[in-house]
Chain A
Amino acid sequence: MYGRILVALDGSPPGERIVPWVRLLARGSGSVVRLLTVCRPVREPIMARGRAVAYVDQLEDRARGHALAYLQGLAARLQEDGIPAAVEVRFGDPVETILTVARDSAVDLIAMGTRGTRGLGRVLSPSVTRAILTRAPLPVLVARLRGQRAA
């Protein structure tokens, strides 16, 4: 039913909660999944004693590397279930980037959690989700799933 699904992730366990549901939706329907993480853009190099120790592009490369590794792990598990999965890492404003990727990849559904951690410059927050819900011209699958279930 939803042939192309875009999953917005931020590298945190709460953000990841949507993935099993995407697997359910996609499995056996021939759906293709794109996993996307939007990293906060790096603005400044890391300075130590007046010298730049790590430059912006180095920091971005490192963030991209981590994010890719994380996404590829998830993609591999989806592929084991017979679901084609692509990964993408972008830098920029989360809402604009998610909407842009959704449009450019002609997806039928955006899937995301509503809560993430703010570490490592990745942001998936209730406000991002709310903005996507309001502005995306396509269906959105949202998982809040308070994980505080004692388990």
Chain B
Amino acid sequence: MQVKTLMKTSLVTIDPTATLAQARELMAAEGVRELPVVRDARLVGMLTDRDMRAAAASTLPPLARYEHPPLLDRMAVAEVMTQDIVTAGPDTPVREAACLLSGLGGSSLPVVDDGLFLGLVSTRELLGVLAGVLDHRRPAGFSHILIPIDGSPAGADALAAGVALARQHGSEMTMLHVLVPFGRYAVAELVPAALLTELVAARKAGACRLLRKEMPPLEGLRIGLEAVEDDPVQGIVRVAARIDAQLIVMARRSRARSLVEAVVRAAPCPVLLVDSGKEPPDARA
């Protein structure tokens, strides 16, 4: 995204020969704290609230204080404005504008094209972009797809759909197998501790073998394999959040319907539920 899409263009500007009194009135009327100073459509400086306050600071003796405001009011904007300003061009990427602004400590970055004033990009516009980026409602792309694998034929169909999408969108793929934690099984209590670690390791190894067996030919795809011990639903949801997946692809099976529904409810991204050719859709609603 470039600055020209983001900047505000219908702005109030002020002439360098205007007085500070006029500037103050304009700022109050428009509800802004800075004004671009423009002469002949060219940007010559920025007048901010801060500049005006700096001009007002003085060491005049108390008696002269009554004369001071009128003096101030009649000062020209040109005497008080900041002239050495950082600007951006209309095609500057927004990311760079954000860096510039954060370095400036100011709130607005003027946009000029060969000296001609075009508009202002302020922190408010950038916050809007940030909110969009942080909010999954405006995805930038399917950069990472998560495919839970359980070794079933229906799961294989989901994998095929996920792979097709990943190729189409150039996404990274993660194949995930979630193991129910062994400790959940009552029999775990009966297993001696030393054997327990071996068992857990063996299960994980088994899961990895399963994943490698299901793995499609790479052909340029980037595929990660993950085996985790967790609750079936939370395992998927947590990994999706950790890898920042934009899509989870699962098989929609009537047997595992509650699992599917639970994942849909908790997932941090949309879920694509793929038909399995091997199981007819459930006719009961």
A93 to B213, CA, bound (A): 45
Distance of A19 from chain B, by nearest CB (Å): 9
Known: A20-B139, A142-B270, A145-B137. A133 touches B260 (CB 8 A): yes
The digit string for A115-151, where 1 denotes a CB below 8 A from any CB of B, is 0000000000000011101111111111111010101
A-B contact list, 22 entries, CB within 8 Å: A1-B165, A20-B137, A20-B138, A20-B139, A29-B168, A114-B264, A129-B264, A131-B285, A133-B273, A134-B257, A135-B283, A139-B161, A139-B252, A139-B275, A140-B273, A141-B272, A141-B273, A142-B270, A145-B269, A145-B270, A151-B131, A151-B134
Q: Could you say which interface size class chain A belongs to?
A: 20 to 34
In the complex formed, the residue of A with least CB distance to B158 is: A139
Q: With A133-B273, A136-B281, A139-B274 as known contacts, state yes or no: A144 contacts B137, CB within 8 Å.
A: no
With a CB–CB cut-off of 8 A, which chain B residues contact A17?
Answer: 137
Q: Is A144 touching B267 in the complex (CB atoms < 8 A)?
A: yes
Q: Is B135 an interface residue (CB 8 A)?
A: yes
| Contact of B136 with A by CB under 8 A | yes
* Among A24, A29, A136, A151, contact of B139 (Cβ-Cβ < 8 Å): A24
- Residues of A near B142 (CB, < 8 A) are 24-25
Residues from chain A with Cβ under 8 Å of B284 in the complex: 134
A5 to chain B, nearest CB (A): 12
Closest to B251 in A: A139
Contact A130 B261 (CB under 8 A): yes
Measured CA separation A137–B169 after assembly (Å): 25
Complex A-B, nearest 3 residue pairs according to Cβ-Cβ distance, in ascending order: A143-B270, A131-B285, A151-B135
A134 touches B272 (CB 8 A): no
Task: With A133-B252, A141-B270, A144-B266 given, name 19 new contacts (CB 8 A).
Answer: A1-B165, A1-B168, A20-B138, A20-B139, A24-B141, A24-B142, A131-B285, A134-B257, A134-B281, A139-B252, A139-B275, A142-B273, A143-B269, A143-B271, A144-B264, A145-B136, A145-B268, A149-B134, A151-B134
Q: How far is the CB of B131 from chain A (nearest CB, A)?
A: 5
Which residues of chain B come closer than 8 Å to A134, judged between CB atoms? 254, 257, 281-282, 284-285
Q: Which residue of B lies closest to A127 (CB)?
A: B285
Q: Chain B's nearest CB lies how many Å from the CB of A58?
A: 33
Give min CB distance, B115 to chain A, whole Å: 33
- Residues in chain B near residue A21, CB distance under 8 A: 139, 247, 270
